[in-house]
Amino acid sequence: MMKNHLSLIALLSILFQLNAVALPQVHENIALENTDKKENNKAAEIQQQVIFAIERFQQTDIENWAFKLDRFENEEGDITSSTERYIVNDLPEKSWVLLEINGKKPTGNQVKEFIKSKLESAGNIALNLGKLINQDSIKYLSEVDGYINASFDVELDKFKVNIKGVLQGTLKLNKHQQFIEEINIVNVAEFSPMFSATISELLITFSFVKIDQAILPNQQKMVMKGRFALFAEIDENSTDTYSNYEYKGGS
């Protein structure tokens, strides 16, 4: 018991003898704790700003907006392009118009195939950021020239596989106008979205534009490389560009 008591006295003696050194260290520890608290508070604030921006985007119903859509795709050297027009209409078969395909006016059969493909896809044109971005994983990276950069884990329904830890996302938030201007998604490891297919490189970019209070798609890009059935090469890149927005919804 005496030994422990002496040990404690000895420890206190050392602390007092090294008072000039120890006290600044304590102050330094407090400063570090305060810095950590500030950083944690900032991270939480950034997370809330991003979540607010996601909710704001989700509040914009793109189906109330008419727009032009220019599409480009290069699939293993096979290049196709089209110009489409979305028109607000209660009838799905009349919501889309094919204006041009591969630089030419479409034939009757091409128009029929175009409408058929739109109906089969249920005409879904809305991007759900709430399902794409794992909101609990949002992390602050930096702030440059009024833009906040953050990272997040990706949840992508397009690939019906467990992609946890495989796809990583970053976003750029316009701090002053409070909306997400750009999202980038990349893979950090190979993965198989379907049987016999392996993706070695994936880059998806979404950019957005603010019109009045609405947040709307501006452009979507994808680059994808890999293998199919061991021998066939996957080498695709595509770009969808939105323009000529006109609001056609209610007041």
- C-alpha distances out from residue 241 to 61, 67, 70, 124, Å: 18, 10, 5, 16
User: Could you tell me the pLDDT band of residue 103, with boundaries at 50, 70 and 90?
Assistant: very high
What is the spatial distance between Cα 113 and Cα 84, in angstroms, rounded to a whole number? 13
Predicted TM-score (pTM) of this structure? 0.81
Q: What is the pLDDT of residue 127?
A: 85
Is the pLDDT at 75 greater than 70? The verdict is yes
Tell me the mean pLDDT in the region 29-41.
62
Sign of CA dihedral 147, 169, 56, 71: positive
The percentage of the chain sitting over the pLDDT mark of 70, rounded to a whole number, equals 79
Is the pLDDT at 4 greater than 90? The verdict is no
Is the pLDDT at 9 greater than 50? The verdict is no
Q: What is the pLDDT of residue 186?
A: 96
With H, G, I as helix, E, B as strand and everything else as coil, classify residue 193. coil
Is the pLDDT at 15 greater than 60? The verdict is no
Is the pLDDT at 35 greater than 60? The verdict is no
Which tens digits make up the pLDDT trace of 211-251?
Answer: 999 999 999 999 999 998 878 999 999 999 999 999 998 65
Which tens digits make up the pLDDT trace of 109-160?
Answer: 999 999 999 888 865 677 889 889 999 999 999 999 999 999 999 986 655 5
Q: What is the pLDDT of residue 216?
A: 97
The overall average pLDDT reported for the chain is: 84
Sign of CA dihedral 122, 186, 131, 65: negative
Q: What is the pLDDT of residue 34?
A: 57
Q: What is the pLDDT of residue 158?
A: 55
Q: What is the pLDDT of residue 240?
A: 97
Q: What is the pLDDT of residue 124?
A: 65
The counts of H helices and E strands in the chain are: 4, 10
